[in-house]
A and B are shown apart, each in its own frame.
Chain A
């Protein structure tokens, strides 16, 4: 296995682990009592359908990013892209934690 392939594989693993961790955190902070991590599709929209989150939930997710990952969202317009799905959240965290 080349170092590049190994690196890609590690990144994928890291991303998968973060997605699973995020699902647990989302369930906890948003009090999604009857939802289990496996019920959340990493690619499904977080708002509008699926989990049916509202504007207060969006604010709670912004706090989650800051509190748990040290990432502050300065431009609220960014939120729409970042919180599109659990996967987009994970991607954003991985990208911004490196900096």
Chain B
């Protein structure tokens, strides 16, 4: 019998970057864009396309890099059997506003193609899929808050239908100064292979607990 487990989780909650609930880095936080760039450098990453992304994609990218550090996703799961389910509340609104600004003056009408391409929240999952060679189901849902029940429902439906064996799932929210993210690596694991002391079952109460720790004020 298999169980859906949270085998690792990561979060960005300025000023801290977290892995499995522990702080892996802490960065002074003034400007969100600078914060994300500094985090990229602190994590010693090399992916120049990062700098072309909007803040939402940058945040999703960094959270996934922390999540998958020293974990060889592609050797463990076929790319078609890995899914991505992300929730957020502001969609791509910050970039939508930036694009809108660039087209609001008819006498200075220069929409930027590189801004326009990020005017959809699904671009976030697209960027992650490219980076980690993920070809399974992927979706972004807009929910007011990190919604544990909803996330559980979506992810368990994917596992139940047999479409994925592994899923990166969680919350990524970026709107101006408001940056919060929490991603889980959810795997279907044989009960016989599980070390009892290490398990976090992927269920609404555990999701809710970790969401609270990582996205609400005052916990770090």
A34 to B41, CA, bound (A): 11
- At the interface, yes or no: B48 with Cβ under 8 Å from chain A? yes
Task: Name the one of A33, A34, A60, A67 contacting B114, with C-beta atoms under 8 angstroms.
Answer: A60
A57 & B37 in contact (Cβ 8 Å cutoff): no
Q: Can you show 16 pairs from A to B with CB atoms below 8 A apart?
A: A29-B112, A29-B114, A30-B52, A30-B114, A31-B51, A31-B114, A33-B37, A33-B48, A33-B51, A34-B51, A56-B113, A56-B114, A63-B111, A63-B112, A63-B113, A67-B110
* Contact bitstring A60-77, B, C-beta under 8 A = 1, else 0: 100100110000000000
Cα–Cα, bound, A59→B37 (Å):
25
Give me the interface of B with A, judged by CB distance under 8 Å.
37, 48, 51-52, 110-114, 117
Q: How many A-B residue pairs have CB under 8 A?
A: 31
Q: Does A32 contact B (CB under 8 A)?
A: yes
User: What is the CA–CA distance of A34 and B37 in the complex, to the nearest angstrom?
Assistant: 11
If over half of A's interface residues share one DSSP class (helix, strand or loop), that class is named, otherwise mixed; here it is helix
Nearest 4 pairs of A and B residues by beta carbon: A59-B113, A33-B51, A31-B51, A67-B110
Looking at B37, B48, B111, the one whose CB has the most chain A CB atoms below 10 A away is B48
Q: Which of A25-50 contact B (CB under 8 A)?
A: 29-34
Cβ contacts under 8 Å, B48 to chain A: 32-34, 52
Task: Point out the residues of chain B lying under 8 angstroms from A63, CB to CB.
Answer: 110-113
- Across the interface, do A31 and B110 meet the contact criterion of CB distance under 8 Å? no
In whole Å, how far is A50's beta carbon from the nearest beta carbon of chain B?
12
Docked complex Cα distance between A60 and B117 (Å): 11
Q: Which residues of chain A are near B51, meaning CB under 8 Å?
A: 31-34
B37 neighbours in A (Cβ, 8 Å): 33
Q: How far is the CA of A82 from the CA of B48 in the complex (A)?
A: 24
Measured CA separation A66–B111 after assembly (Å): 11
- Shortest Cβ distance from B94 into chain A, in angstroms? 16
A60 and B113 contacting across the interface, CB-CB below 8 Å: yes
- Is there an interface contact between A60 and B110, defined as CB atoms closer than 8 Å? no
